[in-house]
Structure formats: structure tokens, C-alpha cells
Amino acid sequence: MLSAGRELPELVVAAEKTAGELGFGKSSRPEVGRLLAAVAASKPNGVIAESGTGVGVGTAWLHSGLGAGARLVTVERDAEPARRAAELFAEDERVQVLHGDWRLLEQHAPFDVFFCDGGGKRDDPQRVVDLLAVGGVLVLDDFTPSAEWPPRFGGEVDELRVYYLTHPALRAAEVLTTPGSSALLAVRQG
């Protein structure tokens, strides 16, 4: 496994502990986390956003790549995970954890990085694209690799994946995160 033998950032370990305590099973795995950290690091003065904080595992990975001049805003609709995640990042004034619907993020746009992981991705994909800065990077995960074009999931064409991969304002690519899962990286063009 790619992540074997590599240490996890301290806040990722802390967030994973919270996940265990709350029985939260939807956190990003390290393979995706390392991608998030790399993308966050590419925008050292950027606005980094995440929809769907969960308990803060993905947030902690984004944070591990966060530049001194960058800020990170994340939103979670469920109160307890949001509260626990906010506690984790309370010491760092670059980080804001919001409790509520993903649309609360809009007041912080445009985004240089947007990890859209809970809210937006399926219910308003055009709005997701609109919230990106020119040159901003959108990250979407939890896809199942497909050898065909158009990609299929469960026997059906995966229209959502096609939407992002072919959107005229995006340059997008699908990358394997594990042998059985993939993520989309899409950069907004002018």
C-alpha cells in the first residue's frame, strides 16, 4: 500500500481518533489525504475550502499542506462532528470550521482549492464550478475507476463524472487513489 511506512500528520491522527469515538466511518483515507495536502500546498496564499468536514480528517490533511498565507474554511451540517472538528483547529487562526449547509461557504469564495466532499457535488455542480477562482483546483473523490468512456458505475453511465470531466470551464483528469477508487482533479480556466 502506498501509504505504508509513512507517518500521518498529528492532526490527522487526532481527527481519526475522534472518528473512532463518534463511530464516523466516512473520513478520507490517507491516499486521498496526501493528494489534498499536495493540492493545498500548491496555493500557499490561497483560499482553501471543503464541503463536508465530517470530523476533520480531510481538513487535517488540507491543513498539513496549508501555507502561512493561506486560509482554510470547511463546513459540516451535523452539529457534533462540526463541534469536534472546530476544537481540533481552534489554535490555528487560518482555519474556520462552520456548522451548517455547504452554501455557507459561498461568502468565502472564490476558492483556490475546493475539496467538495459533502454538499454541492451532486446537488448543484454548476455552482461548485462557479465558486472556483480562475486557476482554482476542484477535488472530488469516491469514484470507482472505469476503463470505458463514458465512465460507468453500476452498469449506468456516470453522468456526474462526465459533467465534471467535460465541463467547458474545467481542465479535468481522473487519478487513481487506490486500485479500486479514483478522484477527479479539475482546474478552472478563465
Ligand X SMILES: C[S@@+](CC[C@H](N)C(=O)[O-])C[C@H]1O[C@@H](n2cnc3c(N)ncnc32)[C@H](O)[C@@H]1O
Per-residue contact string for residues 121-160; x = within reach of ligand X by CB under 6 A: ----------------------------------------
- Does residue 182 touch ligand X according to CB under 6 A? no
Interior CA angle at 58 toward 62 and 149, to 5°? 100
Nearest to 111 by CA among 81, 86, 145, 135: 135
- Does residue 119 touch ligand X according to CB under 6 A? yes
- Does residue 108 touch ligand X according to CB under 6 A? no
Q: Per CB under 6 A, which region of 114-122, 127-135, 148-156, 171-179 contacts ligand X?
A: 114-122
CB closer to ligand X out of 27 and 151: 27
Interatomic CA distance for residues 142 and 121, integer angstroms: 11
- Considering only CA atoms, give the Rg of the chain: 16
- Does residue 81 touch ligand X according to CB under 6 A? yes
Nearest to 94 by CA among 144, 142, 59: 59
CB 106 within 8 A of CB 119: no
Among 8, 16, 27, 66, binds ligand X (CB under 6 A): 27
- Which spans of this chain sit near ligand X (rule: CB under 6 A)? 26-28, 50-54, 57-58, 75-78, 81, 101-102, 117-119
